[in-house]
Structure 1
């Protein structure tokens, strides 16, 4: 018996040793492949540098190789060279040294697009439409937006002279600007809406969003709000910790909000609420859309999984990956995906599987049929693999094609500039309304400018005609095609009238922004916000609100939807 045990132990030990040997061989092979391929890459570059017919630029060539390698992973893993670190810091901290203004390209020159309130550009009187001519005597003609942006940014406290050309002013204007620390607000707007409903727009999770959010919420509490709307639409995310901190304002201490899992144990972490909430009972709705991603999905997903708020809108983006920055030689940095995150129900909202690509290298969303059912704390069904599906889905309105072209051709921007020259003052942001005469003037401006825009109906009709000709149907259908072409004929005046509501709304926001900055523009936009109205109505209907958070109601609604289908 003793010999048998010794023999068994020896066999087991042999298996362990064999396993370790195989593991060692595997690691050695991987290390060999790494060394081999780095050596090949190094040799290829040396050969190119010595013998290629034209001169090779080392930085550009190697950067191309790095970017191609990272592109094969996911769009969030990126290399930042020392000269690009400002962009990374802006992404993480939400701040930079500059003048506090958005700039854009207009009629071949870089112009001021939107100065931020209480920041150097606005305080010194720079206005949208101002053409940037010179910085410290350096001519900006031919410079790109990125190049001019780099010249405007710099060390905090440094000064420069900016020369601009302004519409309606004969001579160029000069401004002496001092660069300041520009902190882009995470909460650009909050207010009390109808029926004592608080509204907070949270546009980012970079900088200090939790502090800004808390200040806004406490200010609204003092004004007597009895319910709250958190607007996360088009919030692309940011810092995970900040999302947890905001969730903690409404959820009990000790609740797990999110946990992460990566290849290495150091990336496995659990994030829980650490203190008592400010208000654990106030009814909350959260507005989301397909631009809500990352930290936005953590906050919205935690509220949904813990049945703390009703999510309203369209399905979110579906980014369930976590990035970490790693310092590199020569002042650079690598932002790389190190983990996936999971919200309280245990689901991961990642919508795209970058690991399993198609043969052509493309990737697609995880189909709904392959997602897994999870359950909220109350037992409601929720799914993984495709973002956060709202509790109350609202069909997203499609942007009219003509509006897209009016924006990129800066026709609305141009009209707003003209309007401001003619109107030194306007009513408050809440009271301002574009008149019929104003819109008529806009239409005339667009018509005179030889404005061109692509219409999808023309493309579809052209493709249909080609298919009909190929399949031999054109002879019998030629008259019908002629009639359809006549019906779909290009008519700018008709399209400007047909989509006037959407166009007027955008023109109004662009005009108001010039007098009352970003807050004014948001005020104007919310006047025609159907999702906001639905959120307010829901918060003022406790029975429906509580019903959406109960599993029985959720099952009943799923049954009704199935019957309709």
Structure 2
């Protein structure tokens, strides 16, 4: 009844209302086009596919967060909102050489892991249906399904001749919200928060109180690679460290219902404990609300790299025939009054691409203490940490699955390994890896060779090559492709990646985080500021006025 009334109100526009007329006219045109295609197009059209593509193109022209989910495609939306789905609980990857999907990372305690599946297992069949020729997306859809339903998965395990069968029952897969927390040196607490979907505030509170019992005197909150989730959960966690009644977020939209003010509603857990928050370019949405609010209210030092810059708020709307639309209804503004939205979707380039808002067009705002912060570019850390670029060879080693395959072979030879904190790749292990790489006839592009070739071509074009030929010959000899040299020169980064791949085979996501924290520049800076009370207070205080 409400839908009918809404439609009557919508179409009952006044004569001369050009906007309403334009909408009605274009919907009529679209309706007529579909009918003409259905009647006269040379081939029979699939109405679901054709119209869905039209809907997707229309919504994509607005922003990437406004999406349509038909009745038979609700699982992805449910996973996004609840951080859960029905499946086996594993990342799968595509092996181009084998032309099959492969188990890449089973989640701890989930059906894939508990049934005995291991990273490296090649997926051959589901309930007898051959998976050859099916891409990763198709296989993923077959693995997912109704919670409680079962199926037989056939895999080929490296090192075994015969295929293995596993009877697996799908479960509601809850991704780990806090995969790891601990007490670091100097009584510094550390909490890794991976998402704001589900109920993270409850788990965060339990972890924080547990760390308090263990005597922590300061805390690092790791929001790196946290893509966000529920707004209310971000506010709840911020409230643990901020007084009751503080305005944290204001949303502003076209209609009154989309404009709200969100305050801290409860008594805090700890107003005094020093905080450092780790962020990077994949810290987005609700993560930026938490980091930005703590920054604007001078409650935490933000460490790392500038965040993603998603300042748009989405809500869901029910549609006919069981469909749902997730659409952007407002922008959010954090305590200083700034919006962190960094991508300007209103002004697309001719090719349809969009760019970040230039720093020159951003506006200065101020924290509660008067420190300068800017809008339009995500959250800029108080302490920016330069990220080391990974070597070119490492990209190709990962892309060719050589590190993944070495880890698989390593696990076949080692039933157990040391705890993540103590595990290391030995020189003997690395020698084995290098031997495997050489036997694989590994090839990779060297950027220096490409650039030198381009420079040489340009020198010839401009008439300089003859005079500079000796210099070019000498440089070419020095830049000769040398696999042994590169594997040794970049051994530190390659060893780190091998260790990460191996450790998570035995200790899952928790182990991977421990391994990454061993040599983490962001964490080092956070510890440095938290163990320097005067510097910490100075960083969060009013800037000195120069007279």
> TM-score under structure 2 normalisation?
0.94
Counterpart-to-counterpart distance in 2, 1:123 and 1:97: 15
- Residues 40/471 of structure 1: CA separation in 2 closer, same or farther (3 Å cut): farther
Distance 2:378 2:174 in 1: 29
Which shifted more, 466-475 or 215-224? Answer: 466-475
1:314-348, Cα deviation, whole Å (9 max, x unpaired): 11111111111112222222111111000000000
Given the superposition, is the C-alpha separation of residues 359 and 110 from structure 1 closer, same or farther in structure 2, using an over 3 Å criterion?
A: closer
Rounded to whole Å, the distance in 1 between the matches of 2:429 and 2:37 is 62
Name the structure 2 match of 1:108.
99
Q: Could you list the per-position Cα deviations for residues 188-243 of structure 1 after superposition, in whole angstroms to 9, with x for gaps in the alignment?
A: 11111111100011111111111121111111111111100001111111111111
* Cα deviations by residue, 1:69-110 (Å, 9 ceiling, x for unpaired): 122111111222223211111111110111211111122111
- For residues 481-507 of structure 1, what are the alpha-carbon distances to aligned partners after superposition, in whole Å with 9 as ceiling and x for unaligned? 333333223222222222211111111
Give runs of aligned pairs for residues 261-340 of structure 1, distance below 5 A.
Answer: 261-340=252-331
Q: Secondary structure at the match of 2:242?
A: coil
Counterpart selection for 1:475 from 441, 466, 473: 466
| Distance (whole Å) between structure 2 residues aligned to residue 73 and residue 210 of structure 1 | 32
State the superposition RMSD in angstroms. Answer: 1.8
Alpha-carbon distance in 1 for matches of 2:474, 2:333: 56
> Deviations 1:103-153 (Å, cap 9, x if unpaired)?
111221112111111112111211111112222222222222222222221
Written as runs of structure 1 = structure 2, the 5 A alignment for 1:115-514 is: 115-514=106-505
Work out the CA distance in 1 between the residues paired with 2:373 and 2:322. Answer: 44
Alpha carbons of structure 1 residues 510 and 474: separation in structure 2 relative to 1, 3 Å: same
Match of 2:541 among 542, 546, 550: 550
1:21-69 deviation line (CA, Å, top 9, x unaligned): xx9566x211221122222222223333333333322222222211221
Per-residue Cα deviation, 1:451-483 (whole angstroms, up to 9, x for no partner): 232333233333333433443333333333333
CA separation in 1, counterparts of 2:476 and 2:321? 61
Any stretches of 5+ residues in structure 1 without a counterpart? Answer: 1-22, 560-565
Per-residue CA distance 1:262-316 (angstroms, 9 max, x = gap): 1111100111100011111100000111111111110000000000000011111
Q: Which runs of 5+ in 2 are unaligned?
A: 1-12
Does residue 60 (structure 1) correspond to residue 49 (structure 2)? The answer is: yes
Tell me how far apart the structure 1 counterparts of residues 274 and 247 of structure 2 sit (CA, whole Å).
21
2:516 equivalent among 509, 525, 530:
525
The separation in 1 between residues aligned to 2:28 and 2:469, in whole angstroms, is 65
SS of the residue 2:74 aligns to: helix
Asked if the contact 2:243–2:268 (Cα under 8 Å) also holds between the matched residues in 1, the reply is yes
Please name the residue that 1:89 is paired with: 78
Q: How far apart in 2 are the matches of 1:317 and 1:24?
A: 43
Tell which structure's C-alpha radius of gyration is larger: 1
Contact 2:294 2:300 in 1 (8 A): yes
Q: Is the 8 A contact 2:417 2:423 kept in 1?
A: yes
d(CA) in 1 for partners of 2:246, 2:411: 52
Structure 1 residue ranges, 4+ long, deviating more than 6 angstroms after superposition: none
Number of equivalences: 533
1:18-33 to structure 2, matched below 5 A, reads: 28-33=17-22
1:254 deviates by: 0.4
CA distance in structure 1 between the partners assigned to 2:49 and 2:474 by the alignment: 55
Aligned counterparts of 1:281 and 1:512: Cα–Cα separation in 2: 36
SS of equivalent residue, structure 1 residue 322: strand
Q: Give the Cα–Cα distance (whole angstroms) in 2 for the partners of residues 306 and 291 of structure 1.
A: 23
Note closer, same or farther for the CA distance 1:466–1:333 as it changes in structure 2 (3 Å cut).
Answer: farther
User: Shift of residue 552 of structure 1?
Assistant: 2.4
Q: State the Cα distance separating 1:155 from its structure 2 match.
A: 1.5
- The alpha-carbon distance between structure 1 residues 62 and 481, as it changes in their structure 2 partners (threshold 3 A), is farther
Q: Higher mean Cα deviation, 474-483 or 523-532?
A: 474-483
Match of 2:5 in 1: none
Q: Quick one: distance in 2 between partners of 1:283 and 1:525?
A: 23
Give the distance between the partners of 1:88 and 1:398, measured in 2 at CA: 35
Q: Which residue of 2 aligns with 1:3?
A: none
Structure 2 contact 93–136 (Cα < 8 Å) conserved: yes
SS of the residue corresponding to residue 543 of structure 2 reads: helix
Answer yes or no: is the 8 Å Cα contact 2:385–2:521 preserved in 1: no
Matched residue, 2:506: 515
> Aligned residue for 1:5?
none
Is 1:71 aligned to 2:60, yes or no? Answer: yes
Contact 2:279–2:304, Cα closer than 8 Å, also in 1 = yes
Q: What is the TM-score with the length of structure 1 in the denominator?
A: 0.91
The secondary structure found in structure 2 opposite 1:274 is coil
Residues 324, 472 of structure 1: CA spacing in aligned structure 2 closer, same or farther, 3 A cutoff? Answer: farther
Separation of aligned partners in 1, 2:153 and 2:163: 10
Structure 2 residue aligned with 1:563? none
